[in-house]
Structure formats: C-alpha cells, structure tokens
Structure 1
C-alpha cells in the first residue's frame, strides 16, 4: 500500500448492462474480470471501497503451489488424482502470473524462489516426509531437506522449486488498467447491497444505481450476497504481519512457512538503499480476540530474536477464511451465480486459479478441476465435524459475550477502547474516544446478529462469527455485512 499509488475509478451513478458483473476488487475479482474480458465478455467490476486495497492490499505476496499440509490429506481423503489436480491448478496459477506480467510488460517485483514448509520439532519430521512424498507424487518439484538458509535450525523442510514472491498490488493495479483499456468497467466506492437473480440478474448498489448482467460473480472474501448456505462452512481467522529492513546479505533467499508456534511465515521483498524488507506473518487468531497487542509483541520479539532487526517499519493484520474441508469454494452456486472464497491463507494462487476457472465455466467450457473446487460439493466425512464445531463454538461464544456484558460498565472503559455493555436492560456497543466521548451503537452484527467485540489495538469492532469489521462509528470496513452498526438510540435496534 505504501509503495503504490492507485488510479481512481468512478462511482456507479447510473444503471449499466454487462455480460458479467464481478463483485469484489481483490485478486480473485480482478483476475476473473481480466480473464473474462480477454475471452470477449463485457464485464463490470464493483468494489465497495478501492480495488486491491482490502485483504489483497495487505497480503505478503507469497505466490506458491506449496501450500502447507494439504497434499497428503488430499491424497488420503480423495485419492491421488485429486491431489494431482490441486497441484496442477495451483502451479499453473503461479506460472500464469509470470507469463501475464511478461506478456503485458507489468513490473511487479517478480522473483522466482524455492518455497519451504518446515518443522522444528523432531516428532513432526516423519509426517513432513510423507507430505513431501505426496507433493512429489502430485507433480510438484518437491523434495525433503534437513537444512535451509534460515538463521535458525529446522528439523526438516518440504522444498518446492521455482515458486514466486511478488508485489501483488502493483501487478493487479496494472492489470486493472489493461482491463479498462480492453473495454472493462470498474466502479469503486459502489457497494453491492442486493442481488435479484433472473435473466438478467440485477445487482443493486448503495449508490442507488444497478448493474444488469447475465452472470454474477461474488468474490468478496466472505460472500456477501446470494450464498448464505456457505456461512457455516467458512471460518474466519486473522494473522499479524511485521515488516523490517534487513541487509541484503541477511536475506534467507526463499519463502518459508511453518504451522508451529501458531504459524510463522517468512519472505523478503526489494526495499530501499539496496536492502531487503523482511516480512514475517504469524499469530493466527479468530476475529474478536482480545489479546491482539500481546500477539503483536510476541511476533516482533520472535522476529528480533531470529533476524536481529532494528525498528519495525510496518505492521498490520489481515483476514482469510478456512473451509470445512480445507479446499476453496470456487464455481457455480446456482444458474448464472458464481462464487470464489475460502482460500485458507493461500489467496494469491487461489485467486488467480479462480479467475481462470470461473471464466471457463461462464464461457461454457470444461475444467478438469471444476468438481474439486465446486461450492456445491459434498464431503461429509471431512466437513461434518468441522461444521458442528463451528456452530457449537458460535453458540458458546454468544453465551459468554452476554454474560461478560453484564459485568462491564461504561465507567470501566479507558479512552481509545470499547466494549459491549448491558445498560438499562439493553446491550450496547460503547466506544470511548481519545477525548472521553462515548459513541453508542447496536452490538448486533447486521449480517447475522452475532455480538461484536472491540479490538483495542486496531480500534475496530469485529464480529467473531463471520469476520465483519466496523469502524468506531459503526461504518462497514469489511463484509459480509453490507450495512453499518446503527446508533443505539435508533428504535429499530431494540432487542
């Protein structure tokens, strides 16, 4: 975000027609829109805020088919052919970005590097050997190694050659320009708020204008419209990122990720004065977690201990979704309605894969991995326990939040913090700003009614059920909610 300057696109202020309406201006939406216009379709892309500025704007830019701990699971649960299709679809996405950038002359800091999934615990080595073997059987250039260029020892690592790290925002902003030059239309600050399916379908926006289209693609991280059946099959989670300059000779020279220590992901990018920018991701947690500051401190301390950094230049958090069976949902939901979601922290390759797959489906062509990613697939053995656990966790969380609200008072709040508090028999979401003024909202997320929680570190309201985020004034920062938290004195919020 700091190293790119976006081009501004207009607000949708009149009704328009297109072959396809794409909702969401992240990597999946932009990739889909580009592939469709290349295939000869007229396309309108709607973005609630600015393109490539949501989750995609805050990714670390790992573009790799070496997703952690997926290939043995796929082979054992669904067969070797399924694992091969998954690997092929992901590696083709990696190669497609490189080829597209070369063909269009896009400069996006693309660097070919090996990618590693590693473990430090000796008792995980045999499992990782099996994962490496499954990845190799699936067709990836994979091997098991016992040493890396990390500045600390590992017990073992799955190494996959010829993967990519890049600047995704620079790539996508350039792709968006090519998209509009090819006849595509982008409308920013135009939130889709209603979908009326038909022939054509109608996508209404908060600007009052409508897009009429034969086909609609929902690519908004957590699907916002027309796909409520996926709610219980998607689990949101957040991760923190810290970035710090390091000397070029300290660059570990590859991409690395482990699920130990609650996830650690390491890679570098070009920086100023001949240095590299080290990016470290970790501390996975569900939205609504209250110890974000402690998690940030742990991640910074871990980075300083292993890489001897000085000051942290940037830090942020990002959100993603896990599916019940760890495979994304990409494809047709109903006639002429398509979705792309559930990227499980591997959104760069999944997003590009989604654009290519959805374009083939919309154009009436077959894809060898359409069934693998289909959002209507049925994997009961893999999904039932996860879905049941998700529902139970949400129910337990609701009870705890109601009880906790009874123990709090607005007087307890320090400046810059917020909480859900029961006052005069009603639950209220109260934020106290830096001047001590209280801002009172309904605490019920408009998407599904779950109680929001306040993240003091980032000063946002978060819904722990589906990951919606709201500013202190209640305005939507991240869906699937399409409306704000209303002020508490609005009689419509009484519960």
Structure 2
C-alpha cells in the first residue's frame, strides 16, 4: 500500500529552492509555502514589497499536496448553517469572498498561462436516504436567499441510485501542485524569495525578528500561513481551533470519468471526483473525516474506502494506486481566522481554519492579508471583519466550544487516571500502544522487524496525552492535532519539538 505520497506529488515536478542563511531584512516574512503563503507572497511582491517565504520542508508539501482540489463556493451544506449562526448579511459576505477568490484563481491562471488541468464542473451534495432531503432543500433556500445559482436534482451522474442531490454549476477543480509550482515562478519573477528546509524556531512578535535554523530575518510584517498557527498566544488559539483528518485514494480508470464533484450528507463522509491528465482518467475517492487523535483503530480506513469503491464502482477492476491523508484546521464557528494575530501584535498576521475548503479560502486569505499590509482598497476588504481572529460569534460557536473544551478536559484527565495499563509483550509488529511503566506514561511502538521504540506519551505542544493512529502509524494529539511519526519526529504542528525518547535496554527495563 503506497501511503502518504499523493497523486498530486507523483504527477508534478517540484522546483528547488535553497535553505535560508544569514541575517537579512525584508518587508514581509511569510512562514509557510503552501497555497496561502505563496499566493499572498506573490500578491505582495507584485506590489514591490520585498517578500520572503520560509518553508520548513518543501514548497507545497503540506495540506496543499493532499487536497481534493475542488475550487468551489459550495462548501457542503454550510450556507444554511451560517445563516442560522451568523445571519444572512454575514453569510452573504462569506459567499461574496468566495466568489472573489474564485475569480482570483481564474485570473492568475489566465494571466500567467498556468497549465494545471483546470476544469469546469458541477459540485453536488447528494444523499442516499430520503430523511436527508430536507437538508438539501434548506440549502437550496439558503442559496436562493443569497441569490446564488443552484438547483435540486433527483439524479445525477453517479453510477449508483441516490435519493436526491443539491447542485451548484460552473465550479471547478485543478491540479494544486502544478498551479502552486507555477505561482512560485510568478513570485520569483516579481523578485520574491523562497527558502525551503528553513524551519522557523521562534518569532519575536515585538521586534519582528524571525529565528530560522539558518539565521535570522528581520521583517516589518510577519504572516503565519502554517495551517495551524504555531504561535497560539496571544489569542488563545489552542482553545479556539481543532484539527480534522480525512483520507483520499486514487485509482487509474482509463475508460471511465465521473462527471461532477461529489460529497454526501451525513457520516461517514464520502467525497469523490475524477481527474484527467495526459495519462488518462483517475478516480479520487475518500472521506471518513474524524477529529485528529480520535480515530477508531478498528478496520483500517483505507480498507473502508476500498470497500466503498467496490460497492459503488464495481466495474472498476483496477487496484487502488495511492493512499494518502490530510489535516485541516477548524475554528469554533467554522469560519476562517484571517487577519492580525491579536491587537497586541499589529504586524503579525495569521490565516487558518479553512475547514477542508482551502482552495477558495486560501485565496481569500491572500487577498485580505495583502491588502491589509499595503492598505490598498479592494472589494474583498468589505468582508475582512467576518474573518477577523478577534471576532466573537457565540451563536455559531457555542456547540464547538463546549465540544472542544470538554475534549481538552477529558484528554488531560487521561494523564492521571484512565490510560489503561499495557503489556509490552502484547504489542504486535506495526502496532503502537500507550502504557504505564514505573509510574511513567509511555508511547511504545514495535516496528516490522520487532524492534521497540519508546517516547514520553505527551505532546510537546501543551502536554496532552497521545493516541496511536493505526491507519497511518503515527502518534496523534487529540487536543490540538499535532502528529508525530514512529521515530518521535513532528509530522505536523502546532508542536515544533520532537517527543522525548526513552532508551530500551531490554523489554523488562521499560
């Protein structure tokens, strides 16, 4: 099973950029080389600002390389939820922002002749059960209220029967890395700078000094475009954001192309679409979203997705080519945080919380942050208050706050009492468990050779206890979503430090 290496990564050639070194100054330091960071940096560099992008790994190696890459204003059934939570006027602002963002992506592709498999298609939300039809009807009413084009359908292009669907025409999809890599060239031509393998260790929020593993960078403005902001104070972002994992697969289907982009109502979530390239057609199928650290280690999720393919697309006989997963940050009211980190840090900005709809929301972030820094006028700035990290939306956020707060309390309680005792001898190959030994709580993993590795079983971000993700063989934090590989190294933040490792002399010593 080919895990982690996505179809997008397999079918694109990444550019190469040096690592940062020395002591330099710039107008804007952008931390994070995904779609948000590169798009924002491009817009700023085109305005003549010296802009430097610092990427800890490779450009586009994070969420950008693992998305479904749907460019759409149709974000499942969000609009009816937003109207209930933040009102019609604010929901109209959200729709306006996404329409503007859609236009920006089209503009950048056209102006720079970017070849990224851009294709126009219809986005559908479908249901197999009649009991969910009212949700589709309510979303149609919400779109009508907002004067957005949409329609209801009894059937669509899916090869299996459904009870109904809600459709938004004239949406699109593309190859996210072909698009991103082309943007890096636009940024370079605008005299922007990109540095890879340049891990930011700390940021002095008052002086604007960014401490990188290769030196220091003095910036007038700093943008955190890292999915989850690794600076979560001030602002208490660690209790205002949680992270969700989802899973995708790709199967080559030379003689079949699914028309439309699809997501279902209810759980488990199923998302599907086709993608065509020079080699033919490919079915992208996935879903099974869950809060990070809350996976159920029963039947592996990728096996469940393959079973969905077998049941829904029985005529596809080719085996699945690739399996990969992604992680998305979600805010309490499910609207992105885009703007100043806090009132106390006027020159530090964040963009996070896209809730799995990062193609348009990343473009929104780029436009808002670029125009906030340049102080130029733009229609997108009419929506910036909606995305302000300082906002307070109790009607929309109360449920998630209770969920997140209770979850954090539960996980901290585990540290003292409720992690079950384990026996190292019972840990099978390829399996990890959290056990107690000599008063310590230890994360223990046995690799395929039978060798053991052991770590402190607490996340290095805010000391939450870890759980083992059987599907991806990783240690995941259920509080704030940090992930660590079986060697204890950070896969994704907000944690920046690896796990504390214990030396095992023999199994009896643990």
**TM-score, scaled to structure 2:** 0.91
SS in structure 2 at match of 1:211: strand
- The secondary structure found in structure 1 opposite 2:22 is coil
Pairwise CA distance, 1:103: 0.8
Whole-Å separation in 2 of the counterparts to 1:202 and 1:259: 46
Q: Give a deviation string over 1:58-113, Cα, whole Å, max 9, x none.
A: 11211111111111222233332222211121122122212211110110000011
Corresponding position of 1:346: 357
- Verify the 8 A CA contact 2:476 2:483 in the aligned structure 1: yes
How far 1:404 sits from its partner (Å)? 5.7
Is 1:336 aligned to 2:347, yes or no? Answer: yes
**Partner residue in 1 for 2:128:** 120
Distance 1:13 1:56 in 2: 26
Q: Per the alignment, do residues 348 and 218 of structure 1 end up closer, same or farther by CA in structure 2, a change over 3 Å counting? A: same
Q: Aligned partners of 1:466 and 1:318: how far apart in 2? A: 15
Instruction: Indicate whether 1:448 and 2:462 are aligned.
Output: yes
Q: Is the 8 A contact 2:453 2:502 kept in 1?
A: no
Offset at residue 349 of structure 1 (A):
0.9
Matched, 1:229 2:243: no
1:297-338 Cα offsets, whole Å, 9 max, x none, are 121111121112220011111111221111111112230111
- Tell me which of 175, 187, 202 is aligned to 2:209: 202
- Is the partner of 1:415 in helix, strand or coil? coil
The TM-score, its normalising length taken from structure 1, stands at 0.94
State the shift of 1:403 in Å: 4.8
Question: Secondary structure, in 3 states, of the residue corresponding to 1:178?
Answer: helix
Please, which of 411, 426, 429 is the counterpart of residue 440 of structure 2? 426
Structure 1, unaligned runs of 5 or more: 491-495
CA distance in 2, matches of 1:431, 1:150: 42
Cα distance between partner residues in 2 of 1:271 and 1:305: 26
What are the residue-to-residue correspondences of 1:211-360 with 2, within 5 Å? 211-227=217-233, 229-248=236-255, 250-271=256-277, 273=279, 275-288=280-293, 289-291=295-297, 293-308=299-314, 309-310=316-317, 311-334=319-342, 335-360=346-371
Aligned pairs for 1:412-423 within 5 A: 412-423=426-437
| In 1, Cα distance between equivalents of 2:29 and 2:478 | 30
CA deviation after TM superposition for structure 1 residue 454, in Å: 2.0
Aligned 8 A contact 2:127 2:165 in 1: yes
1:244 deviation in Å?
0.9
The Cα shift of 1:154 comes to: 2.3
Q: Distance in 2 between matches of 1:326 and 1:170?
A: 28
Aligned positions of 1:117-196 closer than 5 A: 117-196=125-204
Name the SS of the counterpart of 2:247 in structure 1: strand
Q: How many pairs are equivalent? A: 486
What CA deviation, in whole Å up to 9, does each residue of 1:22-80 have, x standing for no partner? 11111111111111112221111111111101111111211111111111222233332
Q: What secondary structure does 2:124 align onto? A: strand
Structure 2: runs of 5 or more not aligned: 1-8, 505-510
Deviations 1:317-373 (A, max 9, x none): 111122111111111223011111111111111111111111111112450100111
What is the CA–CA distance in structure 1 between the aligned matches of 2:277 and 2:39, rounded to whole Å?
Answer: 26
Alpha-carbon deviation of 1:238? 0.7
Match of 1:32 in 2: 40
Distance in 1 separating the partners of 2:456 and 2:102: 44
Q: Secondary structure at the match of 1:82?
A: helix
SS in 2 for 1:260: coil
Deviates more, 1:283-292 or 1:361-370: 283-292
What SS class does the counterpart of residue 336 from structure 1 fall into?
strand
1:471 equivalent to 2:478? Answer no
Structure 2: how far apart are the matches of 1:401 and 1:425? 11
Pairing of 1:16-31 with structure 2 (within 5 A) = 16-31=24-39
Instruction: Say if 1:415 and 1:436, in contact at 8 Å, map to a contact too.
Output: yes
Contact 1:87 1:139 (C-alpha < 8 Å) held by counterparts: no
363-372 vs 43-52, which deviates more? 363-372
Mapped pair 1:383 → 2:394: no
Query: Any conservation in 2 of the 1:292–1:457 contact (CA below 8 Å)?
Result: no
1:99-155 deviations in Å (ceiling 9; x for gaps) = 211110110000011111222221221221121121233232212222211112222
**Does the aligned pair in 2 maintain the 1:9–1:187 contact within 8 Å?**
yes
- Whether the 8 Å contact between 2:82 and 2:396 is mirrored in structure 1 is no
- Aligned to 1:429, what secondary structure does the other structure show? strand
CA contact (8 A) 1:462 1:469 kept: yes
| 1:397 matched residue in structure 2 | 411
Pair 7,459 (structure 1): closer, same or farther in 2 beyond 3 Å = same
Q: 1:493 maps to which residue? A: none
RMSD: 1.8
Query: In the TM superposition, what is the alpha-carbon distance from 1:489 to its structure 2 partner?
Result: 5.7
1:459 counterpart = 2:473: yes
